Structure formats: structure tokens, C-alpha cells
Amino acid sequence: MNSGEREIVVVADAAALAAEAAKRFAEAAEAAVGRAGRFTVALAGGSTPRRLYEALAMEPYRSRVPWDRTHVFWGDERAVPPDHPDSNCGMARTALLVRVPIPPRQVHRMAAERADRDAAAREYEAGIAEVFALPPGGEPPAFDLILLGMGADGHTASLFPGTGATRETRRWVVRNHVPTHNADRLTFTLPILNRARVILFLVSGPDKAQALHDVLEGPPDPERLPAQRIRPSGGRVVWLADGPAAAGLAPPGGARTCPSVD
């Protein structure tokens, strides 16, 4: 695997995006268990991944993914309890985790609803360190797979433009205040994101087309577009987008010019 590889995959629509992502999730899981005896994955939040999670809860993936060897984390979380409709953990639990045989002790929830979110971030980081048998605060671990979404403003995880978490260079997980949402989040930081073996972006819908073009084909502008900062040094970034989200990309991913048929 070359470091810093970037792959752009365009599929027809949201259903095809979920199917392709599920295939890649299962491949990553099988490779990780074959290599290290377990699979460590950080889930994305928002709405796009729901169809992926639902696909993973159904055959063939319910049987194919080694759930008993899988550790699930989250790349970010809103400051709400897990039973809140905005909870990333709640969404993944409903769509996937209650429907597959993953041991509960291997599901590592971000307690972003706690009043002391700085402490919650430090404790989440300590929990990651424990699973990876690393000293907290040192070199971040390399997740086998990190799923990420992207907002129409170019944010990813909860790294929003101009917010403090985008400038974190040492911590793995931090509290991040997001003025545009008037809310706190807990989020992975660039140091841990950019250690991943594989980052899989899931980008769907026409509202993402401009940002996807700007992130992938525009000039470097990482302050405005935090998703541009995702460049794992020893890993691979796969941008998986459906047709509407990829419409602004240069062919072959973008607006296809159908050959004229005489």
C-alpha cells in the first residue's frame, strides 16, 4: 500500500454507495483479522452512513464480517444522549449494532452528553489507548478503517472550518465548539485520523457537489475545507461518491458527456 494513496470511486446513487461501502467494509474487516486477529473501525455520523449500516446488518455481511473480532468506535459525536434522534451512536445502534453479534464490550461509545466534555474526550482517548495497548498522549494508533462523511461546507467528523479542533496536533480526541451549530461536539483530530490504514469517505447527494469539487479538484484551502487535511501518511483515502455528489468532478467521475448517438 503506497502511503498517501487517493482513490475516487463514483457510483450511481445512494443505494449503490451503501452496497460498495459494505463490500469495502467487509474486505477491510477480513484483511485486518487475517493480519492482526481483530478489526478496529471508527464509524461516521450524520445520515449518509445509515444505509451502509443497514446493509451490514443484513446477509451476506451479517455473517461475513467477523463481528466477534471487531471493535467499533465513533469518529465524532454530538452533545446528546444515545437515545436522542441526533445521536450518531443511537443511529448506528438502531441500524446495525443491535442486529449483529458484536460483543457489547467491543462497542466504544463517546459520552459527549456529559457536562464535562473535556474529561469525556480524555477518557475516550484513554479507552482507545487501552484497546490498542498504547500510552495515552503518545503516537496515535492506526485504525484499520475510519468512515467519514463530508458536509456541504467541507467539514469532516466534527472538524468544522475555523474551529479549534482543526488545529489540534497532539490529542487524539477533543471537545470542539461549533458556532454554526451553537453546539459542542467530541471529535477525532487530524493526528489520529491521518494515522488510519484506510479512510473511507461516503459522500452522497447534489448538495455536496460543490464542496467535493473544491476539496478534490480545487486549490489547497484547508482552513475553509477541513476535509482537505485528511491525508493519512501511511494509509489510503478512498472517496466514495454517488453521481449527484460527483457531478462537479472532472470526467470520469464528474458530469459525463454522453457520446452522441447518430
Considering the complex, state which of residue 106 and residue 156 has its C-beta at the smaller distance from ligand 6PG: 156
Within the chain, where are the H helices? Answer: 14-36, 50-56, 61-64, 88-95, 117-132, 190-193, 209-217, 243-246
Q: Which residue is nearest to ligand 6PG (CB)?
A: 149
Least distance (Å) from ligand 6PG to the CB of residue 203?
A: 8
- Smallest separation (angstroms) from ligand 6PG to the CB of 163: 12
Tell me if 49 sits within 8 A of 202, measured CB to CB.
yes
Identity of the amino acid at 99: R
Q: Least distance to ligand 6PG from the beta carbon of 152, Å?
A: 8
Query: Pick from 245, 164, 235: which is nearest to 202 by CA?
Result: 245
Question: In terms of CB distance, is 17 or 57 closer to ligand 6PG?
Answer: 17
Q: Report the residue number, 66 or 200, with the smaller CB distance to ligand 6PG.
A: 200
Minimum distance, C-beta of residue 78 to ligand 6PG, in the bound complex (Å): 6
3-state helix, strand, coil split of the chain in percent (to 5) is 35, 20, 45
Cα torsion 76, 79, 85, 86 to 10°: value is -50
- Residue pointed to by grid coordinates 471537545: 175
Q: How far is the CB of 40 from ligand 6PG (least distance, A)?
A: 18
Show the cell assigned to 129.
Answer: 489507548
* Residue with smaller CB distance to ligand 6PG, 46 or 248: 46
Q: Between residues 69 and 110, which has the closer beta carbon with respect to ligand 6PG?
A: 110
For the CB of residue 102, give the shortest distance to ligand 6PG in the complex, in Å.
20
The answer to whether the CB of 243 falls within 8 A of the CB of 207 is no
Q: How far apart are CA 239 and CA 188, in angstroms?
A: 19
Comparison of 33 and 183: residue with beta carbon closer to ligand 6PG: 183
The Cβ-side half-sphere exposure at 228, using a 13 Å CA radius, reads 18
Residue numbers at the binding site for ligand 6PG (CB under 6 A): 44-48, 76, 88, 149-151, 155-158
